[in-house]
Structure 1
């Protein structure tokens, strides 16, 4: 085993142990929580090693990185987890299985149009799974749909044949108690499911706060640093 693969294997064991412990503490089964490896700024070779170690889901923050990586390492489920501009919708629809950062009707429409074009052209055979990014701090710089507008956006998404609403995603506010934020997200998810029962996914929790997220019902944690190490300043 190469030194890098051994390093990733040890990191993965530690992350898996944290997830399992958090699930036990919350009275939940381990298989209720999906692990997404966030590989921003790390090379496709690391993605390939993680796949060899059993990782099946990979998250990316930037389209320009993700497309080439997805082409180089096929057979995984790829998630767009970063903020997304409408002009990137066509490109993202070409590689992503799921977009977790939909925060407006305009972005949803751009993605639906891109997916429709790909499906009509025989370049995609499935709708795009999407999560609404919920804002837990009302900071426009961090993205996200205000909690008061979640239902309206969900209703809009539900009208599309090319998008499938799967749930909510959120990032805990900076310098705040993540547990309180994730409790708010859990309440928002419960309310959303009354009208959209299939929108049951809750993507919350990262390297530093995954335990609190799992305690409050997260079904998907997005882990980068704890798996791959500290990121450099630029993409390789």
Structure 2
């Protein structure tokens, strides 16, 4: 059986090669793009190996998995990102370990995050999750706020105690005008980021792209890519 460390090291090297090649093709420096490894469903032991291999940013999308894992890895020099849809009743727990919440998409969540950040004596970085597939409801099927709502929500974050407005995040839509047009979607996010930075110049982070479309995200100008399966492998279904 393949040694897990060797397996992760080889996968990580392949992803690094992809990012480096995408940066070169886009005329960007490699250090302009930060790799966030999405460790959801994988054990703390994998996070520990990744840290030994030089990974500094990890992401989770479910608090019930993330909280014990973050506690088990509290001694590691990691930045923890929360990337899933976040219910307000989970905010207190998430604020306990997350350094950045990438899925801020409604005012109630901003209020809850601010309250718990102040209570915990922490500053939490926030990304506004943009739903490029937002329909009449103003929200996307995987969460997020419609592009037209970004400025207002960003203002709420920027004015909230205990929170820091870091930038924008999106997931390539599966439906709507950007379905199958990942690079166009990410370019739209970059346009929104440019607009936001005119008002909030420190909100420079643009999180876009995953295992299948990181090249398109880098080409569009993303500063952070979120890669799970390409580093950790496809987890077998239980049962």
**How much does 1:136 deviate?**
1.0
Aligned counterpart, 2:133: 137
Secondary structure of 1:142's match?
coil
**How much does 1:105 deviate?**
1.0
Aligned counterpart, 1:221: 225
TM-score (normalised: structure 2) = 0.92
**How much does 1:57 deviate?**
0.7
Tell me the distance in 1 between the aligned counterparts of 2:205 and 2:140: 23
* Misfit runs of 4+, over 3 Å: none
Aligned counterpart, 1:102: 104
Aligned counterpart, 1:199: 203
Decide whether the 8 Å contact of 2:26 with 2:218 is kept in 1: yes
| Per-residue CA distance 1:52-87 (angstroms, 9 max, x = gap) | 111011000101111111111122110001111111
Decide whether the 8 Å contact of 2:110 with 2:160 is kept in 1: no
Task: Please give the root-mean-square deviation of Cα atoms over the aligned residues, in Å.
Answer: 1.1
**How much does 1:135 deviate?**
0.6
Tell me the distance in 1 between the aligned counterparts of 2:190 and 2:120: 34
Tell me the distance in 2 between the aligned counterparts of 1:156 and 1:165: 9
Tell me the distance in 2 between the aligned counterparts of 1:140 and 1:233: 27
Decide whether the 8 Å contact of 2:132 with 2:140 is kept in 1: no
| Per-residue CA distance 1:119-175 (angstroms, 9 max, x = gap) | 1xxxxxx31011000111115321001100100001111111200000000000114
Give 5+ residue unaligned stretches, structure 1: 120-125
TM-score (normalised: structure 1) = 0.94
Give 5+ residue unaligned stretches, structure 2: none
Q: 1:113 aligns with which of 112, 115, 126?
A: 115
Aligned counterpart, 2:53: 53
Aligned counterpart, 1:209: 213
